[in-house]
Amino acid sequence: MKKRNHEEVLLQGNEAVVEGALRAGCRFFAGYPITPATEISEILSVKLPARKGTFIQMEDEIASMGAIIGASLAGVKSMTATSGPGFSLMQENLGFAVMAEVPCVVVDVMRGGPSTGLPTLPSQGDVMQARWGTHGDHPVIVLAPSTVGECFDLTVRAFNLSERFRNPVILLLDEVVAHMREKVVLPGEEVVEIVNRPKPKVPPEWYIPYENTPSGVPPMADFGDGYRHHVTGLTHDVRGFPTERPDEIGPFIARLFRKISQHMAEIHSGEFFLTDDAEIAVIAYGSVARSAKRAVREARDLGIKAGLLKLNTLWPFMRAAVDKVLQSARVLVVPEMNMGQISREVKRVNQGRARVIGINKLDGTMITPEEILKPLMEVS
C-alpha cells in the first residue's frame, strides 16, 4: 500500500506549532508553562521523548532561553515557547543568541498586558518588544501566522530561516490564533523542506567561526565536532575572542545586519488580496487579518475598491510590499490589537503619500469585520 504524503487533521494553533517544529527537526525544547502558550510545552513533553528528543521544564524563562542556546550550540534544533511576561525575561539571552549567532526559535503567544494583564485574552502588544526588546542595535526575524495552517507552515519556516541565517527567529502568535481549531493538511515529513545551518568545509585548524563570508553567514561547527569555537556575548573578532578594536567591531556588527538585509526576498512573506486596483488598502496581521479579509470582501460587494496586505513577516518590515499597495491606494487602514505598533512603520514607509487610519483595540476582544468595514465605507 502506498504511503500517503499528507494527513488531514483538526488542530489548534498551538498544536500546529508543535507539528511544524517536529517536522522541521526540532529535538530540544526548554520552557516554563505560561498561558496562553502552555499547550506547546504540554504536547512536546510527550512527543519529543517519543522521537528521541529532549524536553526540559526549566525554573524560569531566563534559564529556558539559556538552555535552548546551549542545545543549539551542540547541534540540536531548539525551541522555547512563552507569552509576553516570559518573553520579557528572555530578552538578555535573546541578545546573546544574536551576538553569538546561535540559531533557535522562540514562540511568543501574545496576551493582554502590561504586567499580568489579561492572561487568557488576545493582544498584539509584543510587536515592538519582538523587534526592540533586547538591548543594542541588532537584526531580528519575526513571523506572524493568521491561520492554524500558517502556524504549521511558519513554524517550519522559522526553523529554516534560523538555521539559514544563524539568527534567532520569533514566531509571534496571538491568543486567538493559538487556540482556534481548523482543518489542516499536514505534509509528510519526507516532503517538508528542511534547511540546516551551513557547516565548515575546512579542517579544524583552518576554521574561522565568525568569518565575513559573501552571504554574511559564516559556517557553524557543532560543539564536539573537533572545531575550536569560542562563544561570548561580548563583541568579538572573527575567531570569537572579545575585542574593543573599532576596525574589528564595525565590520562584525555590519555583517550581522548584512546577512539579513541582503536576503530580504527570502525572508519576507505575505499575501496580497484584491490589491491590484485597491484605492483603500487594509494592512493587517495575525487574527486581525482574518477580520480584515472578511471586511474587504464585504466592501467589494458594496462597490468599494478595497484590498488587503496580510503581513506574515513583521520584521524586517515589509517595506516593498507597502510600497506596492501604495501604487494605487489613497488610504491605508491598519487595524491591530495595540495602540498602533505596526501603523508607525506603515507611516514611516508611507511618508504622506496616502492617508493612514489606525483601528486600535486593547480591551481583550477581537477587532471585528464590522469595525474594519466602517472606516472603509466612510472614506470610499
pLDDT by position in tens, the chain (length 380): 344 578 899 999 999 999 999 999 999 999 999 999 999 999 999 999 999 999 999 999 999 999 999 999 999 999 999 999 999 999 999 999 999 999 999 999 999 999 999 999 999 999 999 999 999 999 999 999 999 999 999 999 999 999 999 999 999 999 999 999 999 999 988 899 999 999 999 999 999 999 999 999 999 999 999 998 899 999 999 999 999 999 999 999 999 999 999 999 999 999 999 999 999 999 999 999 999 999 999 999 999 999 999 999 999 999 999 999 999 999 999 999 999 999 999 999 999 999 999 999 999 999 999 999 999 999 98
CATH numbers and ranges of domains, the chain? 6-191 (3.40.50.970), 272-379 (3.40.50.920)
**222: its cell numbers:** 557543532
Task: With CA atoms as reference, report the closest residue to 173 among 339, 337, 371.
Answer: 337
Longest dimension (CA), the chain: 69
Sign of torsion over alpha carbons 285, 287, 291, 294? positive
Structure confidence at residue 279 (pLDDT): 98
Structure confidence at residue 188 (pLDDT): 87
**90: its cell numbers:** 528572555
Task: Give the pairing of strands 306-311 and 270-273.
Answer: antiparallel
CA–CA–CA angle 142, 174, 145 (5° rounding): 50
